[in-house]
Structure 1
């Protein structure tokens, strides 16, 4: 049974009410985040203001968001933003929600990009919110980063995030995978492509139910997009250039086989903080300018 929102409430009362709808520890943390979002306040505000009256309109807005979250809508879509790396990114239902494990893709790319002022060229295919492209560009301001996506509304979110974070060394281009790159070649190509099997039951669970299916699923084995990306890598990398791909926890062997078959060298898989296969990579044969 639904618990009525308190008619005259302070922050503590509203959070107690939210606990009936979001009863888990994670749910209570999400309720605090939603309340702070509605009030436009930092987290520390609650420590000294939790007994102050909350404007009734703000309380109603908070109640609406809690009910929507209880129905499964992702918090990032409710607040319209998500932190990634050291950036704050706008998100929308047109984009995949950036996740902490994708920061490993950024870390591994940066390890292969010298930080000595060289004019590097990097491509991020299927950029979504622009999370990976913008994080790399912020860390390598001398580099030119090309971020691509097939869908215009998705690319518009990424463009807005570049402006929002004051990052001006990222260029955006609409198109499907290597078609968007044209004849250009890059020192590093990164991608967090769709990699879930189209019949995977997880697509009907949790936040995934609300995210764009085309950004999640990729054929019967989840590898359709990765096959395309692996096969075309050598044609779009400079000699010695690297391809790095995020993928599912059980796809490491299959992705490494695809990178080997594409003629890449030094193929390996890097595990995430939970010890699961997360990023596979390989290098085009030849000497790079910094060898």
Structure 2
């Protein structure tokens, strides 16, 4: 490392963090460091020791900073997102997996602690495949099916199954919620769209401008998907089967009411790490 190289690299990160802060990006310095690592494929500690190489490629970093400042999500810039114990590829065709959704996997493990107790899993609205693949990673004897309306999204989920060594135990189908599958499953998982239509413009700009609207728009009251999915569960669940569905803040009573009207029992309403009721467990 030549004298001053480390300070020049630090200055780049500092200027980028100010730029991101001014554009409303939370934790601007942390984001700037992550973008620096993305641009050079190395940790910041390596970069600080290779100032000449860094100075030669500042354009790539600057491009990432501009895109992040415009609101493009970090996961789409990197093409990667961790979920549960998995590393997933993500594209703008898929909703970015979130830690809140891991609440469903935790609930499944709590209610089915025996790893031999689940042999079949259905994921409705599979997106990146995160829920299905997380479940399969925990139940080594299980086979799973992921359903999504979009062909490109289903292809991305299939790619993630390959990346995580689960392709032999997963299949992906392009279909609607209510399309008959002519099969029963030990577990049905779903994180359907649940944002009321009128609330969509008020979401964070990196969500509303970049993530797929079809994965967010839950209709006038946010409950359209539940009215479609829940009545089909009596045909999709095997005896003693469980359905675990994610929903939005404050929607638990409405979702439970739809389940009751369909003859299903509420086993549990589950809180996420922030203490927010995030998911419901249903049985026949």
1:249 shift after superposition: 1.0
Change (3 A) 1:116 1:239: same
1:218 shift after superposition: 1.4
- Within the candidate set 38, 44, 47, 1:46 is matched to 44
Q: Conserved in 2, the CA contact under 8 Å of 1:10 and 1:51?
A: no
* 2:71 corresponds to 1:95: no
Instruction: State the Cα deviation string for residues 62-106 of structure 1 (Å, max 9, x = none).
Output: 111111111111111111111111111111111100001100011
Aligned to 2:15: 17
SS in 2 for 1:219: coil
1:56 shift after superposition: 4.7
Instruction: State the Cα deviation string for residues 246-279 of structure 1 (Å, max 9, x = none).
Output: 0001101111111111111244311112121100
Distance in 1 (alpha carbons) for counterparts of 2:146 and 2:200: 31
Change (3 A) 1:224 1:108: same
Aligned to 1:109: 108
Aligned to 2:28: 27
Instruction: State the Cα deviation string for residues 99-157 of structure 1 (Å, max 9, x = none).
Output: 01100011112233353435611100101000111111111111011111110111111
Change (3 A) 1:57 1:261: farther
Give the CA RMSD over aligned residues. 2.0
Where in structure 2 are the equivalents of 1:140-179 lying within 5 Å? 140-168=139-167, 169-179=169-179
Aligned length: 273
Aligned to 1:281: 281
Change (3 A) 1:57 1:138: farther
1:49 shift after superposition: 4.2
Change (3 A) 1:151 1:187: same
Moved more, 218-227 or 9-18: 9-18
Q: Conserved in 1, the CA contact under 8 Å of 2:20 and 2:28?
A: yes
* 2:94 corresponds to 1:85: no
Ranges in structure 2 where 5+ consecutive residues have no aligned partner: 1-5
1:20 shift after superposition: 2.2
Aligned to 2:3: none
Q: Conserved in 1, the CA contact under 8 Å of 2:121 and 2:186?
A: yes
Moved more, 142-151 or 52-61: 52-61
Change (3 A) 1:90 1:10: farther
Aligned to 2:193: 194
Instruction: State the Cα deviation string for residues 194-249 of structure 1 (Å, max 9, x = none).
Output: 00001105555332221111000111000000111111111111122111110001
Moved more, 24-33 or 161-170: 24-33
Q: Conserved in 1, the CA contact under 8 Å of 2:195 and 2:248?
A: yes
1:57 shift after superposition: 5.6
TM-score scaled by length of structure 1: 0.88
Q: Conserved in 2, the CA contact under 8 Å of 1:256 and 1:269?
A: no
Aligned to 1:225: 225
Aligned to 2:257: 257
Instruction: State the Cα deviation string for residues 170-215 of structure 1 (Å, max 9, x = none).
Output: 1111111131x51111111000000000110555533222111100
